[in-house]
């Protein structure tokens, strides 16, 4: 089959592929650093699939046809599309007014306890029409695509009743169909306790298990819970996740964001695919997460930045202990209204101690592992989906350096170059 797309003259092709063949687990320890870069390289695709990568001198020009689209990277870096493995994509309104309160010194949990925070977005989201929610979600996905994000995990969690939660999942799926980036759905009905169940977290979780989870089979792959003071306790979170697992869902958790309650280790022991936030994760609990060999710690460095919190996830300690790490924005209206995963990558280097190579693995292949997409995305290898970025840089070391910039020149999704 002749190539339908060729990207040539890449100064560095960041393949993310391991030097020793396909790995069976997310990248950890030195694997986070040792993935393969091919200098002066090409990547070739047929349809939506990568079929060959290699140095330019090995390019088989007999595979070029008249209608092959040729993109000349002109000595720039080429890498896999970014994988956003933790977002709260679908919501209405914004919380700019609360940002002012935060700047005056109120904390995230104080604002939540006063009926604001997540609950204020729940009110706005319940009041919004499905059409408006879809328009907003598509707007945010467009922003993500501009940053070179080609896959987005989208959580529900601003409905907190059956009808609205199902609507949020429906909107996320529809948004996935209406544009090129892939959308993967997570059910976060257990975000906080809604006003209708105030003071009765267990009753609310039982309601989700009985009434909502059965409706989500085939619609959402993952079930997530916010385990935190002011949200759900460790005991409630454990009972809920265990039931979700029995119903066939893969598990995620928001844990150790503001306090160390032990949620990450608990969820990892239940086989969670990821444990997210981890800012207050202890060294002992990191060892428990590492012991699974499979649970990815999703680090969200823009959240402590935006919440003015000193404590960042102990990135170096996690890597030392062998925990596979991914990085995401956590895009949401309260703790991270940013879609700039490049900025998150830089802040992970600055405040979590990651190296540029580790951070790059964390926004691509390991992020794919965190949403069970490692077989199709996250690296540039034959057989994988042709989600590819051409960056406006000649050397990958510049990626975290140009703080806050969007280095993306061209985005290719499923073999199709996207309009700017």
Binding site for ligand NIG (CB under 6 A): 88, 117-118, 121, 226, 254, 257, 303, 330, 332-335
Q: Which is nearer to Fe ion, 330 or 358 (CB)?
A: 330
CB of 87 to Fe ion, least distance (A): 8
Strands 222-225, 182-190: parallel, antiparallel or unpaired by DSSP? parallel
CA distance 37 to 13: 5
Strand order in the sheet with 250-255: 82-84, 149-155, 182-190, 222-225, 250-255, 274-277, 296-299, 325-327
Q: Which two tokens stand for residue 177?
A: 């169909």
Q: Which is nearer to ligand NIG, 322 or 337 (CB)?
A: 337
CB of 300 to Fe ion, least distance (A): 7
Q: Which is nearer to Fe ion, 328 or 374 (CB)?
A: 328
Taking each helix axis from N to C end, the angle separating 118-127 and 162-178, rounded to the nearest 10 degrees, works out to 80
Q: Which two tokens stand for residue 68?
A: 């092959």
Among residue numbers 329 through 348, which ones bind Fe ion (CB under 5 A)?
330
CB of 254 to ligand NIG, least distance (A): 5
CA distance 147 to 127: 30
121 contact, one of ligand NIG, Fe ion, none, CB 5-8 Å limit per kind: ligand NIG
The CB-nearest residue to Fe ion is 330
Q: Which is nearer to ligand NIG, 3 or 280 (CB)?
A: 280
CA distances from 301 to 10, 76, 79, 117, 158 (A): 30, 27, 22, 19, 22
User: How many other C-beta atoms lie within 10 A of the C-beta of residue 321?
Assistant: 20
Strands 82-84, 149-155: parallel, antiparallel or unpaired by DSSP? parallel
CB of 339 to ligand NIG, least distance (A): 14
**Contact status: 221 vs Fe ion (CB under 5 A):** no
Name the phi and psi angles at 211, rounded to 5: -105, -30
Among residue numbers 312 through 331, which ones bind Fe ion (CB under 5 A)?
330
Q: Which residues pair with 378 in a beta bridge?
A: none
């309260």: which residue's tokens?
Answer: 334
87 contact, one of ligand NIG, Fe ion, none, CB 5-8 Å limit per kind: none
CA distance 249 to 95: 31
303 contact, one of ligand NIG, Fe ion, none, CB 5-8 Å limit per kind: ligand NIG
Start-to-end Cα distance in the chain:
29
Q: Which is nearer to Fe ion, 98 or 330 (CB)?
A: 330
Q: Please give the DSSP secondary-structure letter assigned to residue 259.
A: S
CB of 172 to Fe ion, least distance (A): 14
The CB-nearest residue to ligand NIG is 334
CB of 92 to ligand NIG, least distance (A): 12
Name the phi and psi angles at 115, rounded to 5: 95, 5
Q: Which is nearer to Fe ion, 234 or 394 (CB)?
A: 234
Q: Which is nearer to ligand NIG, 12 or 257 (CB)?
A: 257
User: In 179-323, where does DSSP find H-type helix?
Assistant: 201-207, 234-246, 263-269, 283-290, 302-306, 315-321
CB of 15 to ligand NIG, least distance (A): 31
Q: Which is nearer to Fe ion, 305 or 399 (CB)?
A: 305
CB of 330 to Fe ion, least distance (A): 4
379 contact, one of Fe ion, ligand NIG, none, CB 5-8 Å limit per kind: none
Alpha carbons within 13 angstroms on the beta-carbon side of residue 353 total 10
334 contact, one of Fe ion, ligand NIG, none, CB 5-8 Å limit per kind: ligand NIG
Q: What is the largest CA-CA distance in the chain?
A: 69
256 contact, one of Fe ion, ligand NIG, none, CB 5-8 Å limit per kind: none
189 contact, one of ligand NIG, Fe ion, none, CB 5-8 Å limit per kind: none
CB of 122 to ligand NIG, least distance (A): 9
**Site for Fe ion, rule CB under 5 A:** 330
């Amino acid at each position: 089959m002749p190539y339908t797309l060729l990207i040539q003259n890449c100064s560095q092709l960041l393949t993310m592929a391991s030097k020793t063949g396909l790995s069976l687990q997310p990248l950890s320890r030195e694997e986070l650093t040792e993935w393969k870069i091919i200098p002066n390289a090409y990547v070739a695709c047929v349809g939506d699939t990568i079929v060959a990568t290699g140095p330019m001198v090995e390019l088989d020009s007999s595979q070029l046809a008249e209608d092959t689209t040729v993109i000349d990277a002109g000595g720039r870096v080429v890498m896999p599309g970014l994988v956003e493995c933790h977002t709260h994509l679908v919501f209405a309104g914004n919380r700019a007014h609360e940002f002012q309160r935060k700047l005056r010194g109120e904390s995230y949990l104080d604002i939540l306890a006063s009926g604001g925070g997540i609950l204020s977005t729940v009110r706005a989201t319940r009041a919004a029409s499905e059409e408006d929610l879809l328009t907003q979600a598509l707007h945010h996905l467009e922003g993500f695509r501009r940053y070179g994000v080609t896959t987005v995990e989208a959580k529900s969690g601003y409905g907190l009743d059956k009808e609205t939660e199902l609507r949020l999942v429906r909107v996320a799926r529809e948004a996935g169909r209406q544009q090129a980036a892939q959308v993967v759905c997570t059910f976060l009905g257990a975000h906080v306790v809604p006003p209708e169940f105030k003071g009765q977290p267990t009753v609310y979780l039982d309601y989700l298990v009985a009434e909502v989870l059965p409706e989500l089979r085939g619609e959402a792959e993952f079930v997530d819970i916010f385990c935190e003071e002011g949200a759900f306790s460790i005991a409630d979170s454990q009972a809920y996740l265990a039931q979700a697992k029995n119903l066939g869902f893969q598990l995620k958790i928001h844990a150790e964001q503001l306090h160390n309650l032990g949620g990450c280790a608990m969820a990892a022991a239940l086989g969670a695919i990821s444990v997210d936030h981890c800012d207050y994760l202890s060294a002992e609990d990191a060892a428990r997460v590492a012991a699974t060999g499979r649970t990815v710690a999703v680090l969200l460095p823009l959240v402590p930045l935006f919440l003015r919190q000193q404590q960042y996830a102990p990135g170096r300690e996690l890597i030392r202990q062998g925990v596979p790490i991914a990085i995401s924005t956590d895009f949401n209206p309260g703790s991270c209204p940013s879609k700039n995963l490049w900025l998150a990558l830089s802040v992970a280097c600055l405040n979590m101690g990651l190296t540029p190579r580790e951070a790059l693995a964390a926004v691509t292949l390991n992020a794919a592992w965190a949403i069970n997409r490692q077989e199709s995305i996250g690296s540039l290898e034959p057989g994988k989906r042709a989600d590819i970025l051409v960056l406006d840089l000649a050397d990958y070391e510049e990626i975290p350096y140009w703080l806050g910039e969007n280095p993306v020149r061209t985005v290719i999704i499923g073999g199709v170059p996207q309009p700017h």
